[in-house]
Structure 1
Amino acid sequence: MPTSPEVIDDGLPMPAGGPAAPSATLGGDKKRSVEQIALLLFIVVPFAALVAAVPLAWGRGVSWLDLGLLVVMYYWGCHGVTIGFHRYFTHGSFKANRALRLTLAVAGSMAVEGPLVRWVADHRKHHRFSDAEGDPHSPWRFGENLPALMKGLWWAHIGWMFNEEQTPQQKYAPDLVRDPAIRAISRHFLGLTILSLAIPPLVGGLVTMSWWGAFTAFFWGSLVRVALLHHVTWSINSICHAVGKRPFKSRDRSGNVWWLAVLSCGESWHNLHHADPTSARHGVMRGQIDSSARLIRWFEKLGWAHDVRWPDASRIASRRKPAAVDPA
């Protein structure tokens, strides 16, 4: 059984102790050129499909089957990232039984956002240095004037992923490095990516019994879906650290961006998340939709999740900014 992570005061789960696996099991700390080329392809090709989707839908429409595949695959991968990669593996917001743990690892990998251990290591480093020197993807990296912020937004959204230096996985995710099952899922990211891209055309082809049905399902359910999910996820790094309301105390510039809430499965209530990183719910105020928290609640009721870190009223109140006092 893997060692349960120990949560320290900045919300960053780290293991209680024990030796980490050799770095060779997950690669070194620099990206090879072949990885950067593959990353470029995984960004450019789905994005080109996303751009082409508008005139294609306008001219020919999109079938209910294609739309259904897009929505189902989108939210499967999105919740795999938000509940699995983020709230569970990165922050330890709850504990899961083995079946749920492995399912979340696979679902998050099918979002095509990178291997699990690397994703977690990058995000834990982000929290350790959020919007300060050392943060892998702060939009404030180059300064605060408009040209610097525009450059920073591009960096936080996409540019940082092409940085040659990688976050040391032994340092930031040693608990996952020591887990053989999680290491195996992380190493098989390419295979899970292929599976993720193959399911829509397989279903589309079988339902319509045509190659055209397989093609349109691949276009909408694979390429457009991946591009949309990528840019929504990356917007949490860029937009949610540049704009938005900040009702809670945090040591960075994280903000709540309401119009991203449904597409981001609740992740865009980002100010509360940085004020209370281990909270299983990010949307804690009235009307704040957080589908990830709802699913975690269902997992808890089914007995699949336990020790969930739900925020109570006093915990939320302690993290609120003090109300402004009008001058006498």
Structure 2
Amino acid sequence: MQRQHFILFDVLPFIGTLIALGALFYRPIGALEISLFFAMWLVTGLGLTVGYHRLFTHRAFTTGTAVSAMLIIMGSMAGRGSMVSWAAMHRRHHELSDHEGDLHSPNLHGGSLLGRLRGFLHAHLTWMIEHDYPNVAHYVPDLMAQPVLVRVNSYYYAWVLVGLLIPTAIGGLVAGSLWGAVAGFLWGGVARMFAVEQAMSAINSVMHTFGARPYRTRGDNSRNLGVMAWLAWGEGWHNNHHAFPYSAAFGLRWFEFDPGYLFIRVLAALGLAWNVKVPSAEKIALRRLHEPAPDVAELEHG
């Protein structure tokens, strides 16, 4: 099943992206394709970072059943696995980060150049082909105890299909042609799925290899890299996240752009999210390695 998932949602989107790029020699990309790509990239990415990651894995805020179900659907459309499986694997990652048993650490293959390259490839791609499957009864009993969410989660493959059909239908209707539907499928569907996969995989590989480490963590090699915050919905502040995994905000300073947290703040302003957790200035100061603690007043009052 893991190999099947890898072929369906990693290999085929890569092939589809090559086809989309090849088609540019015949039909230049236009506003429709670009709009569908970025809209679906944002919707599915927020489903992953806000729903799968911050809400379901770390309980960084609270919301109602309807919003929770919406976030499961948004995240599922990314094709990165079902919410329950994703949360179980990610909780295990935090439990064993960069130590034996971490499913996707790049730092467990030796210190030689070849070992580092093998580790990077493992963390970015090959771990998904075949890996241990964490016991969901052990890692996510709180999620398994919510029958409505488990039910929504059980339609994972249907939601992936919906994520492909939406841009296909919009492309066909807006362009009024079969080519519009094909372009919507290629750019808003498979190419977008490939881009989201690459961004999420980079959190495992790049963000445990390159970047700054401003905070003490539990013996892992998590890093911050600002460019990845833009490419991965705020996930690039990965050292921040490992230092404060319960925090709804990954960006802890005003200049640390975090679209996922901005979305949570919008939900909170609409009364759709509450109990939004962020670390206090005192806790940040205790974790800080070099510089004085940042001013997080805006976070705490947000």
Give the TM-score, by structure 1 length.
0.85
Give 1:90's aligned residue. 57
Aligned length: 291
- Between the aligned partners of 2:222 and 2:20, the Cα distance in structure 1 is 31
Give 1:42's aligned residue. 9
Give yes or no for contact 1:87–1:93 (8 Å, CA) kept in 2: yes
Task: State which of 260, 280, 285 in structure 1 corresponds to 2:253.
Answer: 285
- State the Cα deviation string for residues 200-236 of structure 1 (Å, max 9, x = none): 1111111122111100111111010000000000100
Give 2:298's aligned residue. none
Task: State which of 105, 112, 118 in structure 2 corresponds to 1:145.
Answer: 112
- State the Cα deviation string for residues 40-61 of structure 1 (Å, max 9, x = none): 1321111123344445446632
Runs of 4+ in structure 1 deviating by more than 3 angstroms, as ranges, are 51-60
Query: 1:154 corresponds to which letter in structure 2?
Result: L
1:322 deviates by 4.0
1:163 deviates by 1.9
Matched, 1:204 2:171: yes
Q: Which has the larger helix fraction? A: 2
Q: Which runs of 5+ in 1 are unaligned?
A: 1-31
- State the Cα deviation string for residues 32-91 of structure 1 (Å, max 9, x = none): 4xx422421321111123344445446632111111111111100000000000000000
Q: Which runs of 5+ in 2 are unaligned?
A: 293-302
Give 1:133's aligned residue. 100
Higher mean Cα deviation, 55-64 or 152-161?
55-64
Give 1:80's aligned residue. 47
Task: State which of 273, 276, 281 in structure 2 corresponds to 1:313.
Answer: 281
Task: State which of 242, 256, 270 in structure 1 corresponds to 2:238.
Answer: 270
Give yes or no for contact 1:137–1:156 (8 Å, CA) kept in 2: yes
- Between the aligned partners of 1:246 and 1:60, the Cα distance in structure 2 is 45
Give yes or no for contact 1:247–1:271 (8 Å, CA) kept in 2: yes
Higher mean Cα deviation, 311-320 or 265-274?
311-320
Matched, 1:302 2:270: yes
Give the TM-score, by structure 2 length.
0.92
Query: 1:93 corresponds to which letter in structure 2?
Result: A
- CA root-mean-square deviation: 1.6
Give 2:89's aligned residue. 122
Give yes or no for contact 1:130–1:138 (8 Å, CA) kept in 2: yes
Matched, 1:162 2:129: yes
- Between the aligned partners of 1:53 and 1:214, the Cα distance in structure 2 is 13
Give 2:186's aligned residue. 219
Give 2:299's aligned residue. none
